[in-house]
Amino acid sequence: MDTLSALALGFEVALRPENLLIALIGSFLGTVIGALPGIGPVNGIAIMIPVCFALGLDPVSSLIMLCSIYYGCMYGGRIASITLGIPGDEAAVMATLDGFPMAQKGKATVALIISGVGSFFGGTVATIGLTLFAPALASLAIYFGPSEYVALFIMAFLTVGGVATKHPTKTLLAVTFGLALSTIGADSQSGIPRYTFDILKLYDGINYIVVIVGAYAIGEYLSFLEEKDPGAVVRPKMEPLKSSYRNAWNDLQRCWGAILRSSGIGFIIGILPGAGPTLASYLGYVTEKKISDKDGTFGTGDPRGVAAPETADNAAAGGAMVPMLTLGIPGSGGTAIMLAMLMSLNITPGPLLFERQPEIVWGLIAALYISNVMLVVMNIPLVGFFVKMLQVPPSLLMPVVMVFAIVGVYSINNVEIDIFLMIAFGVVGHILRKAKVPIIPIILGLLLGDELENALRRAIAASGGDWTVLFDKPIAVGIYAFTLVAILASIWLQRRGKRMEGAT
């Protein structure tokens, strides 16, 4: 079956009225879930799995529901990032860097429109990519062995300095702190508990959602309490849509390069197993900063700094479907949960899925096109509705965010210790913010630290203790060379552009 007729079959499935309705509900819920701080795609999909079973949905409909929630979360995550400065989920962290400053300058709507366009573009490019290259691209995954992954993560950590330019020492400290946090819990290779102090609930390590919600929601709440006049705290605000379209259109002209590059970066990162939207939005932002931040405007409300990460994370969400469907390997937390759902629906993802159950795969892919269109409509002309949800006064919103944060964090594992950890990280995050230590490198260290360690130890275990295995793979060496060039380039750029300091 050639691709076009397969896709036609898919649209036939996806355009059935009940599936259209399901995609609409999923897109709406996904946007809401993504917009609420701290509740990300993983929780959102996990919550909806029992609902799919309860409604007795058939496999295709269940998958359409979960995938449209997943795509919806990627859209919704940016709303709180931009209007409140609190990431809706971990992939939306990068959108706060320029999105929130834009909102403070009275350009929240412009930022929302631009990121909405970017999200649509990234999501559509990824879905087209999924359609065209799925089987071929998935074969790339097998060239990435443990050594190549080590190189990839080392690149991520060494280039993190680019995110927080002003204080490289503090950034490195923050990364190290995050890496240290990631060692807490049972060691995955030997099962030996590390830094758990015989507290059973720490055996699984520190959940990064706990840290993110703590550092952002609780930290924000503490800052709010410190304000003399709580009513004057920045509130989510939006300028009228009509007058913003023109501004957004003008700003967009500068963003096409960022959107195009980030679509590619996001899609490729999404395909790599274990490197999901979070890494993609990070790399999308950093790359764009490296390429186009000639005036040092990134971090102060540059529209390209909003477009890049939001395009990349939506593209990665689509890219992550490629290894999930073709090899049964999740490329992100959200697809990992979907994989579990597939298995429980008796669909075995693997190289043969495209041949044996084409109506499911292609129905799903067609549904992704459709929900992407639904989402862009919800997220640009109708975005005001979702912002309104955040547009309550902080004195009302903040306690509600607290309740959501506490309930959401508790509902992940049903353990009280997560709530205490979250509050502790809120306090720590608040202090670190005052000390101008960036939070994002801590979270990246925690997120990717386990993966780095696992990859490193797999590489060493497979070679029988021979460290040279890390450097004798061409792809790995290529990544290291690229990292070196990137670091040298950033040093060179910093020396050349002393005026960056003036811009702060």
Partner 1 sequence: MNTFKLATAAMAAIILSPLPTSAFEPTNVQCVAPADPGGGLDFACRTIGRILSELDLVKGTVQTLNMPGGTGAVAFGYLKSKKAGDPNTMVTGSTIHVTQIAQGKYPGKYDDVRWTAMIGADVGAISVSKNSTLQTLADLAKVIKETPGSLAVAGGSAIGGWDHIRFLMFARAAGLSAEEMKKIKWVQFDAGGPAVTQMMGGHIDVLLVDLSELVGFIQSGDVRILSVLSENPLPDPWDKLPTARQQGFEAVGYNWRGFYLGNEVSDDDYKAWVDIFDKVYKSPNWQKAAKDYGLMPLWKGGAEFEASIKAAVEETRDLSKAIGVIQ
* Residues binding partner 1 (CB under 8 A): 46, 49-50, 53, 141-146, 186-191, 193, 200-201, 203-204, 273-274, 327-330, 337, 339-341, 343-344, 346, 348-353, 356, 413-415, 454, 457-458, 461-464
Shortest Cβ distance from residue 353 to partner 1 (Å)?
A: 7
Question: Please, which residues have CB within 8 angstroms of residue 271's CB and are 6 or more apart in sequence?
Answer: 137, 138, 140, 141, 319, 320, 322, 323, 331
Shortest Cβ distance from residue 421 to partner 1 (Å)?
A: 13
Pairing mode, strands 185-186 and 193-194: antiparallel
Shortest Cβ distance from residue 46 to partner 1 (Å)?
A: 5
Please give the structure tokens belonging to residue 444.
């990246």
Shortest Cβ distance from residue 210 to partner 1 (Å)?
A: 13
Cβ nearer to partner 1, comparing 112 with 339:
339
Shortest Cβ distance from residue 281 to partner 1 (Å)?
A: 23
Check if the beta carbon of residue 175 is closer than 8 Å to that of residue 445: yes
Please give the structure tokens belonging to residue 121.
């573009």
Cβ nearer to partner 1, comparing 204 with 501:
204
Closest Cα partner for 330 from 268, 257, 276, 263?
Answer: 276
Shortest Cβ distance from residue 188 to partner 1 (Å)?
A: 6
185, β-bridge pairs: 194
Please give the structure tokens belonging to residue 432.
């670190």
Q: How many residues belong to the chain?
A: 504
Check if the beta carbon of residue 447 is closer than 8 Å to that of residue 205: no
Cβ nearer to partner 1, comparing 286 with 339:
339
Shortest Cβ distance from residue 414 to partner 1 (Å)?
A: 6
Amino acid at position 468, single letter: T
Shortest Cβ distance from residue 103 to partner 1 (Å)?
A: 35
Identify the sign of the CA torsion 77, 80, 85, 89.
negative
Cβ nearer to partner 1, comparing 217 with 337:
337
Check if the beta carbon of residue 452 is closer than 8 Å to that of residue 459: no
Cβ nearer to partner 1, comparing 467 with 492:
467
- Residue 39, Cα to own-chain centre: how many angstroms? 12
Cβ nearer to partner 1, comparing 126 with 327:
327
Closest Cα partner for 311 from 444, 163, 123, 82?
Answer: 123
Cβ nearer to partner 1, comparing 1 with 392:
1
Check if the beta carbon of residue 280 is closer than 8 Å to that of residue 312: yes
Shortest Cβ distance from residue 413 to partner 1 (Å)?
A: 6
Please give the structure tokens belonging to residue 116.
């909405």
Cβ nearer to partner 1, comparing 253 with 414:
414
Cβ nearer to partner 1, comparing 54 with 232:
54
Identify the sign of the CA torsion 473, 474, 475, 476.
positive
Shortest Cβ distance from residue 145 to partner 1 (Å)?
A: 4
Unique residue bearing structure tokens 């030996």: 192
Cβ nearer to partner 1, comparing 112 with 206:
206
Question: What one-character-per-residue DSSP string does 285-307 give?
Answer: HHHHHHHH-SSS-TTS--HHHHH
Question: Please, which residues have CB within 8 angstroms of residue 209's CB and are 6 or more apart in sequence?
Answer: 38, 40, 42, 43, 90, 408, 409, 412
Return d(Cα 260, Cα 297) in angstroms, integer.
20
Cβ nearer to partner 1, comparing 79 with 337:
337
Shortest Cβ distance from residue 132 to partner 1 (Å)?
A: 21
Return d(Cα 190, Cα 337) in angstroms, integer.
25
Closest Cα partner for 412 from 338, 330, 337?
Answer: 337
Shortest Cβ distance from residue 146 to partner 1 (Å)?
A: 6
Check if the beta carbon of residue 66 is closer than 8 Å to that of residue 320: no
Q: What is the CB-side half-sphere exposure of residue 250 using CA atoms within 13 A?
A: 5
Cβ nearer to partner 1, comparing 141 with 477:
141
Identify the sign of the CA torsion 371, 372, 376, 377.
negative
